[in-house]
Amino acid sequence: MNWLTDYVRPKIKQVFRTREMPENLWQKCDSCGQMIFHRDFEAQLHVCDNCGHHMKIGPDARFRALLDEGTMAAVEVPEPIADPLKFRDTKRYTDRLKDARSKTGFKDAATVVEGQMAGVPVVLAAHAFDFMGGSMGMAVGNALLAAAERAVALGAPLIAFPAAGGARMQEGILSLMQMPRTTVAVEMLREAGLPFIVVLTDPTTGGVTASYAMLGDIQIAEPGALICFAGPRVIEQTIREKLPEGFQRAEYLLDHGMLDMVVDRRQMRETLTLVVEMLMRPVPLPLLDDAEGAGKSAAGRKRKVAAEKDAAGPSVESEAAADAGGEAEARSKG
């Protein structure tokens, strides 16, 4: 037995053996190229700490960052008819759906949950851009309607996080029909007097922008998000002119009055909590409680009583007083 070969050499190899490093330990920033350790990347909600670039984040991670721990529950969304047009290009539509579901773990491009944010009940709906580009088909329309119905049932605000390349071409006209359907969902909230808040993420384009994504009572966007109907490249090729720098980005739209605010994802929970609390706060009646206000309210009540008397016509007492006055005037003349 050669102890050098059989014992010493394996021990030396074991000491100096190179460990296999997982491939997902580091994330490269899409903007500045900074390498970010995966734990820091998750803690920063997929935002580069070096340049502030917001990279894409899935619905689950977004929901966990916004909702109170232990309050999140999924909202059931009705499943649509699978492949109603029997569509096929280079692959069957059903095969594309299977691949997307296997890759992302989602049933379709939109996910709906309910929960509490700082103790306030809310309903959240978000697109998964990794699922066929977040495209809007019948399943997304069903998701927005289910979210609105649940929000109305709870008396809670609905917060939507669109991220889509537009309508889903594999569903043809049926995907375009989701534009009025999602608009109806927004109208349900308006009729119930509940807030609809939209947080536009990168990218929000096409039929999603042309429907519910721009109908929020409060329009918020993440920094640098592309928000448009037709993309800048298509517009440049059409008009054959160079577009301004930052055109159709969140900051450009904010400067031109299309948005209410642009908020860093790391401050999104605090901002949404403040907005929801303000919109859901009950308004006290009467609005004027000070002495001057009370006086105005009393004067208003007097005017209302006088107006009601005028509308009712002369009373019996006023007619009797008029008759007595007329008799006295006749006696004085006689």
Cα–Cα distances (Å) from 35 to 32, 52, 53, in that order, read 9, 13, 13
Both tokens assigned to 20: 């296999």
- Look up residue 231 and give its amino acid: G
Interatomic CA distance for residues 89 and 82, integer angstroms: 16
One DSSP character per residue, 210-261 reads TTGGG--SEEEE-TT-BB-SS-HHHHHHHH-SPPPTTTTBHHHHHHTTS-SE
Q: Is 29 annotated as belonging to a binding site?
A: yes
H/E stretch holding 26 reads strand 26-28
Interatomic CA distance for residues 134 and 271, integer angstroms: 25
Please classify residue 253 by burial: count the beta carbons closer than 10 Å to its beta carbon, then call 0-12 exposed, 13-18 middle and 19+ buried: buried
Q: Is 51 annotated as belonging to a binding site?
A: yes
H/E stretch holding 197 reads strand 196-200
Please classify residue 22 by burial: count the beta carbons closer than 10 Å to its beta carbon, then call 0-12 exposed, 13-18 middle and 19+ buried: exposed
Q: Is 228 annotated as belonging to a binding site?
A: no
Peptide bond before 203: cis, by omega within 30 degrees of 0? yes
Please classify residue 169 by burial: count the beta carbons closer than 10 Å to its beta carbon, then call 0-12 exposed, 13-18 middle and 19+ buried: middle
b/e string for 51-86 if b means 16 or more Cβ within 10 A? ebbbbebbbeebbeebbeeeebeebebeebeebeee
Q: Is 32 annotated as belonging to a binding site?
A: yes
Which positions make up the binding site for Zn(2+)?
29, 32, 48, 51
Which positions make up the binding site?
29, 32, 48, 51
